[in-house]
Amino acid sequence: MKIIALIPARGGSKRVPGKNVRPLGGHPLLFYTIAAAQESGIFSGIYVSSDDPRICYMAELRGATPVPRPPEYATDTSPDIEWIDHFFMTTKSATDAFAILRPTSPFRSAETIRRAWAEFQEKQPCDSIRGVQKARENPHKMWTLYDNSLCPIILRDMTYKAFGVPSHSAPSQITNHYYIQNASLEISWTRNVTERGSISGDVIKPFFTDGYEGFDLNTEDDFILAEALIEGGLATLPEVK
């Protein structure tokens, strides 16, 4: 089977200007994702979708194929399906599957990508897999406001039947486990996009990331923490050759 890598790297970012090419550990952030994709050895093509000519130029310097993205598909509210559909419509790429690799997850390694590709094939039948990690916050302990009063997000679950108390008053250890998606990767069949207008399809299976594989840089604090992790030897960046 053929699989390609799609790397979204638009030029705009309100929280961290120039985020996708901001230096980290001596190189622009984008370079680490390109390097990991190249080292993985599984892709028949590595493409960077961007509305920024500078980013397209930088991607080409590192051996990736730039795909200019129309600005209307690169706004703060643009859904991923727009630029991905645009990619397949313009390139006519003949591939069975694709992986979305976001530059904001720099600690994702070539081994991470190879492991995910193997799991995608082993977990068939499914439409896609998505990187997830155990959620730090328990949604059973979360509330919203209704008519100026607190209302639990999860109103009732099996905790009532088993212990006779609402889940927000029960120990976290006896509530369900919850997982949050991270920026490490997604792998999906191309037909989900070309035939169904969907990135992930209906049947999505988990790819459980380890350690900092799913660490996502979106704020100034995230960059400070990432630098500290690198300096402390707790996380390793892919080698940019």
Q: Which of 210, 213, 199 is nearest to 32 (CA)?
A: 213
CB 170 within 8 A of CB 140: yes
Q: Domain ranges in the chain?
A: 3-131+182-231, 139-174
* Distance set, CA 68 to CA 21, 79, 151, 165 (Å): 16, 17, 46, 55
Q: How far, in Å, CA of 160 to CA of 180, rounded?
A: 25
Tokens of 191: 């037909």
Task: List the chain pLDDT tens, one digit each, 241 residues.
Answer: 999 999 999 987 777 888 999 999 999 999 999 999 999 999 999 999 999 999 999 999 999 999 999 999 988 888 999 999 999 999 988 999 999 999 999 999 999 999 999 999 999 999 999 999 999 888 888 899 999 999 888 876 666 655 677 777 767 666 677 899 999 999 999 999 999 999 999 999 999 999 999 999 999 999 999 999 999 999 999 999 8
Buried b (16+ CB within 10 A) or exposed e, 97-116: bbbbbbbbbbbbbbebbebb
Q: Which CATH superfamily is domain 3-131+182-231 in?
A: Spore Coat Polysaccharide Biosynthesis Protein SpsA; Chain A (3.90.550.10)
